[in-house]
Amino acid sequence: MTPPTIEVVTPDQAQILADLHAGSIDPPWNREAFASLLGQPGVLGLLARGDGGPAGFILLRQAADEAEILTLAVGPAKRRCGIGKILLSEAISRLSGLGVQRLFLEVADDNAAALALYRQAGFSQVGRRPDYYRRAGQGAANALVLEKRL
Residues near ligand COA (CB under 6 A) are 24-25, 72-74, 79-85, 105, 107, 111-114, 116-117, 120
Q: How far is the CB of 116 from ligand COA (least distance, A)?
A: 3
Closer Cβ to ligand COA, 98 or 115, answer by number: 115
Q: How far is the CB of 120 from ligand COA (least distance, A)?
A: 5
Say which of 118, 132, 133, 147 is annotated catalytic: 118
Q: How far is the CB of 108 from ligand COA (least distance, A)?
A: 7
* 95 contacts 105 by C-beta, under 8 angstroms: no
* 59 contacts 36 by C-beta, under 8 angstroms: no
CA dihedral 74, 75, 78, 80 (to 10 degrees): 50
State CA 67 to chain mean position distance. Answer: 12
Using CA atoms, how far apart are residues 146 and 143, in angstroms rounded to an integer? 9
Which residues are the active-site residues? Answer: 106, 118
